[in-house]
Amino acid sequence: MPETPVPAAIEARDIVRSYGERRALDHFTLDVPAGSVFGLLGPNGSGKSTFITLVAAAEQPPSGTLRILGEQPHAALRARIGTVFQENAQDPLMRVGELLQLAGRLFGLSRKQATARAAELLEVFGLGGRANDPVSALSGGMRRRLEMARALLHDPELLLLDEPTTGVDPEERRALWDALLHGARGRRTILLATNDLAEADEVCEQVAFIQAGRVVATGTPEELKRGLRREAVRLTWEGVTDDEISKIAAWPGTGDVTRSGNLVHVTVDDASVFVPRVFELGGHAIRSVTIEQSSLEDAYFQYVSGRTPREVRA
């Protein structure tokens, strides 16, 4: 018996959005399944934040079509959406409880509802007992957790996250995601825009690679990694030349070869065959080698950076 298709929380079709002469979204098309944790991955300026902002505003795009939670965009939909942007939207002079009370009232909660919901979320995000502290007394990681609590006060059906863990250390990031996904898997749709490929590989059920305002690939992390070479080799190679990069790209069993300065990233069928051969070529100029199983980062380089050897600039 065929599976029933999962309805889309967000349906974008052929969206074009420009800022002056710069086209931020170029015939952007995407479906985000309801109840999923969905990642938007792409370099800075690829259109991730533009799309997040468009959905957050619940506005019809100037060209193309957009449906949010099964409806055409309209202002009332914002009550069903929570948003965490890259910058914290907090008054450092307010106390934690006051900030959440104000946010709750703006979301339409009664004072009693806002107080109860704030207390619950502060506990979930490890901020219990901090309600009377000024926001300025919180660490950067705590402020990001407070921002999450603010966005979840009204229990939104759709949560939009734009680089939510930028500047957060790995331990703090794990605590944040544990709290964020607490009881939410399958119940709330989360759309995450991030440059952190390891984070997306860990938490996202599906991802889309974005390049120059277009979606270039979508699927689960496993689907996007399928068909890649099995292992990833990362080299620190002093003075590596274009000719050397071209030579290793031509070897049998070699997939993608990308380079940023003296850092070289290669996907291969068998690292045990590739590594001795590359040392024969590079000798003592190769200062370090790391071998890993192919990751979402490798898939990203394939789809976004292209399959030909090239220098990737940050």
Query: Residue 227's pLDDT is what?
Result: 60
Helix, coil or strand: residue 30 = strand
Query: Residue 170's pLDDT is what?
Result: 82
Mean per-residue pLDDT for 24-48? 94
Helix, coil or strand: residue 94 = coil
pLDDT winner (highest mean) among 26-35, 42-51, 78-87: 26-35
Co-location of 73 and 150 in the same domain:
yes
pLDDT winner (highest mean) among 72-81, 161-170, 222-231, 292-301: 72-81
H or E element at residue 26 = strand 22-33
Distance CA 302, CA 287 (A): 25
Domain end marker among 193, 224, 255: 224
- Residues spanned by the domain of 248: 227-311
Report yes or no on 3 lying in a domain: no
Helix, coil or strand: residue 28 = strand
Co-location of 136 and 279 in the same domain:
no
Domain end marker among 201, 224, 247: 224
Residue 169, CA distances (Å) to 138, 164, 200 in order? 15, 12, 16
Co-location of 235 and 278 in the same domain:
yes
Report yes or no on 1 lying in a domain: no
pLDDT of residue 313 exceeding 50, the answer is no
Co-location of 220 and 243 in the same domain:
no
pLDDT of residue 101 exceeding 50, the answer is yes
Domain end marker among 206, 224, 242: 224
Q: Which of 199, 207, 203, 140 is nearest to 170 (CA)?
A: 199
Residue 108 tokens read as: 């339409």
Q: What does the pLDDT look like over 146-168, one tens digit per residue?
A: 999 999 999 999 999 998 887 77
Query: Residue 66's pLDDT is what?
Result: 96
Query: Residue 308's pLDDT is what?
Result: 38
- The string of DSSP letters for 70-86 reads TB---GGGGGGEEEE-S
pLDDT of residue 311 exceeding 60, the answer is no
Query: Residue 232's pLDDT is what?
Result: 86
Query: Residue 28's pLDDT is what?
Result: 97
pLDDT of residue 31 exceeding 90, the answer is yes
Please state, rounded to an integer, the average pLDDT across all residues of the chain: 88
Confidence bin at 305 (pLDDT 50/70/90): low
Q: What does the pLDDT look like over 234-293, one tens digit per residue?
A: 999 999 999 999 999 999 999 888 898 999 989 888 899 999 999 999 999 999 999 988
Co-location of 211 and 249 in the same domain:
no
Co-location of 233 and 302 in the same domain:
yes
- The string of DSSP letters for 230-299 reads SEEEEEEETT--HHHHHHHHTSTTEEEEEEETTEEEEEES-HHHHHHHHHHHHGGGEEEEEEEE--HHHH
Helix, coil or strand: residue 7 = coil
Confidence bin at 187 (pLDDT 50/70/90): confident
Query: Residue 164's pLDDT is what?
Result: 87
Give the ranges where the chain is alpha helix by DSSP (H). 48-57, 96-106, 111-124, 140-152, 170-180, 197-203, 221-225, 242-249, 271-282, 296-300
**Residue scoring higher pLDDT (240 or 306):** 240
pLDDT of residue 26 exceeding 70, the answer is yes
Co-location of 262 and 178 in the same domain:
no
Mean per-residue pLDDT for 106-124? 92
Confidence bin at 184 (pLDDT 50/70/90): low
Residue 291's DSSP bridge partners are 233
Confidence bin at 183 (pLDDT 50/70/90): low
104 and 113 Cβ atoms separated by less than 8 Å: yes
Query: Residue 169's pLDDT is what?
Result: 81
Number of domains, the chain: 2
Report yes or no on 186 lying in a domain: yes
Co-location of 192 and 296 in the same domain:
no
Enter the pTM of the model: 0.78
